[in-house]
Amino acid sequence: MFFHIKELQYDAAPERPDPVYAKKLQEILGGHYGEMTVAMQYLFQGLNSRADKKYRDLLLDTATEELAHVEMLVTMIARLLDDAPVDVQEEAAKDPLVEAALGGRNPQHVIVSGLGALPADSAGNFWSGSYVGASGNLLADFRDNLTKESHGRLQAVRLYELSDDSGVKDMLSFLIARDTMHQNQWIAAISEIEQRECDLVVPATFPRSLEKQEVSYDFYNFSRGEESKKGRWANGPSMDGKGLFNYVASPPAYGPKPFLFPAPLPVHDTIPMVHPKPSKI
């Protein structure tokens, strides 16, 4: 059950309408790394969680806060669109110069949403559930959460730099601060699970004896030049403490040349002119 509180988590009041900026702000609402994505990601991770109750609670607490951020952004975008009635757009269309200057507006903010926010990014691509990562493995998911919060804070900071509206900047300063906390909390949760599982590699439950351990810590130089040799990833103990990094300047081809039999005639693939005999493997 969800309970909606009427007040906003933080105020979302611009100094003045700005439909062009409203389009830009859509990115952190309905973009790949926007508030809709993190809200749904934490919601699905939490509701599906079969792990310790504290992780489910952590996820659902944060999911619900992200819904509050969706509410703030929708409110802000609607207010930025306040002064963009249809007749203004029609006036603009009569003058090619004005139309060019106002070209940064999203016409769907009038035609589709009627001066409201859209579940879309700044280029008008509609939000997709494919942005959501929820695997049931908390270490994989928490790392994905950290990535999403990192991109989200980066985009919020860029939008802060693009605005000269004190009301917009004030709201963004709140969202940026919450992204600071959310990055920190995922780092803490990642560290806790890594320590509990005594491993950094996901999934820790798959026996190492079943992987080809001879290549587990090789770094392959798959290009000319060896600049990549000068890094922690190519030298010393592996980060999981279970091996040694090994720089391989000329990686071998472990397998033979591949051979595929021609497809059966009813598939209508191109028939090879020469039918090579498969080499013994």
Binding residues (CB under 5 A) for Fe ion: these are 35, 66, 69
223 is an annotated ligand-binding site residue: yes
90 is an annotated ligand-binding site residue: no
- CA nearest neighbour of 33 among 117, 156, 115: 156
Cα–Cα distance measured from residue 258 to residue 227, given in angstroms and rounded to the nearest whole number: 31
- Beta strands 246-248 and 218-220 are parallel
- CA nearest neighbour of 129 among 44, 27, 2: 44
Angle between helices 166-197 and 53-80 (to 10 degrees): 160
71 is an annotated ligand-binding site residue: no
Nearest residue to Fe ion, using CB? Answer: 69
Nearer to Fe ion, 36 or 138 (CB): 36
Nearer to Fe ion, 21 or 42 (CB): 42
240 is an annotated ligand-binding site residue: no
| Helix spans in 81-237 (H) | 86-94, 96-101, 108-111, 138-161, 166-197
CB of 232 to Fe ion, least distance (A): 32
Nearer to Fe ion, 21 or 33 (CB): 33
- CA nearest neighbour of 33 among 5, 73, 60, 4: 73
- Per the CB < 8 A criterion, the answer to whether 194 and 143 are in contact is no
36: its two tokens? 């809709």
Read off φ and ψ for residue 126, nearest 5 degrees: -75, 150
How many Cα atoms sit within 13 Å of 28 on the Cβ side?
Answer: 29
Nearer to Fe ion, 180 or 213 (CB): 180
7 is an annotated ligand-binding site residue: no
66 is an annotated ligand-binding site residue: yes
Nearer to Fe ion, 35 or 194 (CB): 35
Read off φ and ψ for residue 39, nearest 5 degrees: -60, -50
DSSP letter assigned to residue 148: H
CB of 5 to Fe ion, least distance (A): 17
CB of 183 to Fe ion, least distance (A): 11
- Per the CB < 8 A criterion, the answer to whether 117 and 73 are in contact is yes
CB of 38 to Fe ion, least distance (A): 6
Neighbours of 146 (CB within 10 A): 18
Cα–Cα distance measured from residue 38 to residue 151, given in angstroms and rounded to the nearest whole number: 11
268 is an annotated ligand-binding site residue: no
149 is an annotated ligand-binding site residue: yes
Nearer to Fe ion, 11 or 218 (CB): 11
CB of 9 to Fe ion, least distance (A): 10
CB of 82 to Fe ion, least distance (A): 24
Nearer to Fe ion, 123 or 181 (CB): 181
CB of 27 to Fe ion, least distance (A): 13
Q: Show binding-site residues.
A: 35, 57, 61, 66, 69, 149, 182, 221, 223, 225
Annotated binding site for Mn(2+): 35, 66, 69, 149, 182
Binding-site annotation, residues for Ca(2+): 57, 61, 221, 223, 225
